[in-house]
Amino acid sequence: MFNGKHVIITGGSSGIGLETARLLAARGARLSLLARGRYRLETAAEELRATGAQVDFRAVDVADVAGVTKVLAELGPCDVLVSCAGVARPGRFLELPDDAFRQMIEVDYFGTLNVVRAVVPGMVARRQGSVVAVSSATALLGIYGYSAYGPAKFAVRGLMESLRAELRPHGVHVGVVFPPDVDTPQLAEENRFKPAETFAISGTVKPLPASVVAQAIVAGIEKRRFLICPDLSMKVLARFGSLLAPVLNRYFDGKIARTRSAAA
């Protein structure tokens, strides 16, 4: 279903975005990669072109609505959008700088919204297409240390839930991805700022390879799934999170208390 289709991937120069691009290149998709850093985009494009893939790329900040609109108009009609671009800045609420909260909303939420608004009208007009956005496990349950990042990913979840209902009658598939920690350059950067309490909660779970998340995304598009969960823990949390929240919160509270006690 991807052969000859134009797939636009934001955050396509590394991590989940690049792994998704590799899978779709092997399926014959025509790729357009978007990210902020031109050097990594060029490197990714060269790698994919070496396999015979048709690849274009643009260096653009997804939070820049004018820049996104211009770039996507240049790239032409989009058959599949995979919105992976994002940043995470963990930290304690009382210690995070004001601009961290604004950056998460501008990049993670508005960065998703900007590209979706640019491509969806064309999909609706053609009555076909697929729009997938990467949210986060932190959009399923509030986690210590993610008071800036979590709400932005909750907003992505809310956007996609609304769009699923609105775009379905127009023949457009909408999906949202809920990955846990993923072994990417972004996670390495994120770990520099994680409070000890956050490490206590997430540090015992091995991060997923980005390729596993990419496989789930491709399968989700092929099967036109709304909920795209790369592992069993996310499937359970996505479906039963509201029921499990009291139990999980007590478990996390115990880990946090023990961590703080040890530090004291």
Read off φ and ψ for residue 140, nearest 5 degrees: -105, -25
**Whose structure tokens read 């960065």?**
111
Backbone angles phi, psi at 10, to 5 degrees: -85, 150
Q: How many residues does the chain have?
A: 264
CA torsion sign, 51 to 56 to 59 to 63?
A: negative
What are the counts of helices (DSSP H) followed by strands (DSSP E) for the chain? 10, 9
The span from the CA of 64 to the CA of 69, in Å, is: 9
**Rounded distance, CA 66 to CA 72, Å?**
10
Active centre residues (catalytic): 135, 149, 153
d(CA 109, CA 135): 9
SS3 (DSSP) at 81: strand
Which residue type, as a one-letter code, is found at position 67?
Answer: G
